[in-house]
Structure 1
Amino acid sequence: MRRFLILQLRPERDASDAEFAAFLAKGGLDARCAHRIRLDAEPLPKGLDPADYAGVIVGGGPGCVSDAPEEKSAEHARIESAVLSLMPRITAQDIPFLGCCYGIGILGKHLGAPVAKGRYGEPVGTAACALTEAGRADPLMDGVPDRFDAFVGHKEALEALPEGCAHLASAPSCPFQVVRHGHNVYATQFHPEADATVFEERIEIYKHHGYFPSETAGDLIAMCRAAEVTAPERILANFVRRYG
Structure 2
Amino acid sequence: MPAPIRVLLIQARRLPEIERQEQRCFLECGRLHPTQLRCVNVTRDMLRIELLDHIDAVLIGGSGEFSAVEQYPWTEALQHLLRAAADRKLPMFGSCWGHQMLAVTFGGQVVRDPAHAEFGVGEVHLTRAGHQDPVFGHLPSRFYVSMGHRDRVVTLPPGGIELARNTQPFQAFRLKDRPVYGTQFHSELNASRLRKRLQAYHNLYLDVLGAEGLRCAMQTETTPTVDNLIYHFLQTYATPC
TM-score higher than 0.5: yes
3-state secondary structure, aligned to 1:83: helix
Aligned to 1:168: 163
**1:9–1:79: 8 Å Cα contact kept in structure 2?**
no
Aligned to 1:229: 223
Aligned to 1:73: none
**1:4–1:35: 8 Å Cα contact kept in structure 2?**
yes
- 1:6-25 matches, within 5 Å, as 6-25=9-28
3-state secondary structure, aligned to 2:76: helix
1:131: how far off?
A: 0.9
In structure 2, stretches of 5+ residues that fail to align are none
Equivalent-residue separation in structure 2 for 1:190 and 1:21 (angstroms)? 17
- Any idea what the Cα deviations from partners look like across 1:75-131, whole Å, max 9, x if unmatched? xx1343332121222333432000111112111211222210248742312221111
Equivalent-residue separation in structure 1 for 2:7 and 2:57 (angstroms)? 5
Determine which of 144, 150, 159 is the counterpart of 1:155: 150
Aligned to 1:56: 58
3-state secondary structure, aligned to 1:153: strand
For 1:139, the aligned partner's letter is: P
Equivalent-residue separation in structure 1 for 2:211 and 2:73 (angstroms)? 28
Aligned to 2:99: 104
Aligned to 2:173: 179
Equivalent-residue separation in structure 1 for 2:214 and 2:68 (angstroms)? 26
- State the number of aligned residues: 231
3-state secondary structure, aligned to 1:145: coil
TM superposition score normalised by structure 1: 0.86
- 1:74-153 matches, within 5 Å, as 77-118=72-113, 121-153=116-148
In structure 1, stretches of 5+ residues that fail to align are 70-76
1:142: how far off?
A: 4.4
Over the matched positions of the two proteins, sequence identity in percent amounts to 24
Equivalent-residue separation in structure 2 for 1:233 and 1:80 (angstroms)? 30
**CA RMSD, 1 decimal:** 2.0
Aligned to 1:41: 44
